[in-house]
Amino acid sequence: MSTEQGMRLRADAQRNRDQIIAAAKRAFLHGGTDQPMEEIARLAGVGIGTLYRRFPDREALVRAVAQDNFGALADEARAALAEEETSWDALVRLLGRSTDLRLSLRLSLLSPAAWHAIHDDPEIVRHRTEILELLDEIVRGAQAEGALRADVGTGDIAVLGSLLLRPGPGRDEMLARAMAVILDGLRAAPGTALPGHAVGLQDMITSLKT
């Protein structure tokens, strides 16, 4: 949360920095990364000057939020894998409960402005790679358990996850039902063959770079 280069911030400055990131998370989640800087400052309860001293421009802020968020998501994926009984449960947990996942998707997919900030930063790329590898492990595990149908790949799961997590309307209860339907579709014993071939981890990574 406070990974900074060198200098240690004064207590109030550190507090403000955290508040700014938290506010930016909320703002980005709600309205995308081109939300006015002033609005983010307002949400954080700090002046616009404070925001700009800490983050010289929008890209720096986006990058900081992305670091924070992809890191949290990697933690969550690791926790799901470690704590859940089965890989299938880990998958369900990851698809269903993750706010961090939601924001990460917005960041990586929905905002052209955020693209560079994210793809240029090695730490973020590392986190993203780890996340995908963990997801891959979970997917393979769930298939080995016989819980997850064998003809889907990690990329397919990522796509389905992204569908559930995109911003939009629909109350949570409705989304929970939609997820249950999707999970039924993901269980072993497919009704029909899927078109094309499974989208694997590598395909997904490749497609992210496009």
The residues that touch DNA, with contacts defined as CB under 7 A, are: 9-13, 16, 34, 36-38, 45-50, 52-54, 56-58
13 or 163: CB nearest DNA = 13
Q: What crossing angle do the helices spanning 11-31 and 58-83 adopt, rounded to 10°? A: 80
Apex 72 CA angle, 101 and 144, nearest 5: 65
Shortest Å, Cβ 76 to a copy of itself: 22
162 binds, among a copy of itself, DNA, none (CB under 5 to 8 A by kind): a copy of itself
| The entry of a copy of itself, DNA, none that residue 166 binds, CB within 5 to 8 Å by partner kind | a copy of itself
Taking the C-alpha atoms of residue 59 and residue 140, their distance in angstroms, rounded to an integer, is 36
- CA 54 vs CA 3, 18, 34, 38, 198: distances in Å: 13, 11, 18, 14, 44
CB 141 → DNA: shortest distance, Å?
A: 43
Dihedral over alpha carbons 97, 106, 208, 34 (to 10 degrees): -170
| Residue closer to a copy of itself (CB basis): 21 or 92 | 92
46 binds, among DNA, a copy of itself, none (CB under 5 to 8 A by kind): DNA
Q: How far apart are CA 197 and CA 178, in angstroms?
A: 24
Residues forming the site for a copy of itself (CB under 8 A): 109-110, 152, 155-156, 159-160, 162-164, 166, 168-171, 173-178, 180-187, 190-192, 194-196, 199, 207
Token pair 């992809």 is at which residue?
Answer: 70
The least CB distance from residue 97 to a copy of itself, in Å, is 14
- Which of DNA, a copy of itself, none has residue 191 at its interface (CB below 5 to 8 Å by kind)? a copy of itself
From DNA, a copy of itself, none, interface partner of 31 (C-beta below 5 to 8 A by class): none
In the complex, what is the shortest distance from the CB of residue 200 to a copy of itself, in angstroms, rounded to a whole number? 12
- The closest alpha carbon to 204, from 164, 153, 168, belongs to 153
Residue type at 155 in one-letter notation: G
